[in-house]
Amino acid sequence: MCNGLNGRPVFLTKYLEATHRRMDRTRRRQRFFVGLDLLRKVKTDDITDKIKEPTGEPSFEFKGITPSGEIVGVHVREEIEGKNRKLYLISTF
């Protein structure tokens, strides 16, 4: 559940597919668990960017700092499938 997006669930099914095509996929996957923790703790005020995908669907980015001082970002996309609006974790960076 993502507190920053009104407690809506964020599905992970598209994460591996989305990161597999990236040149820096190893680095992004290393940030996966930190990204999940960030999603659990984030608040609405922590949304750093709201963008529209080329398909017109909204996306959100959150950024946080790890205990070791590293900045980690999370990209979540909302996809509309019929009457359902689902949030998917797309990337950690």
d(C-alpha 13, C-alpha 24), whole Å: 19
The pTM of the full predicted model, rounded to 2 decimals, is 0.76
The stretches of the chain forming alpha helices (DSSP H) are 15-20, 25-30, 32-41
Token couple for 82: 């019929």
Those residues of the chain that have pLDDT short of 50 are: none
CATH of domain 3-92: 3.30.2310
d(C-alpha 26, C-alpha 83), whole Å: 35
| Domain boundaries along the sequence of the chain | 3-92
The residues near 16 (Cβ < 8 Å, ≥ 6 apart) are none
d(C-alpha 25, C-alpha 43), whole Å: 27
User: Nearest 10 degrees: CA dihedral of 35, 39, 45, 47?
Assistant: 50
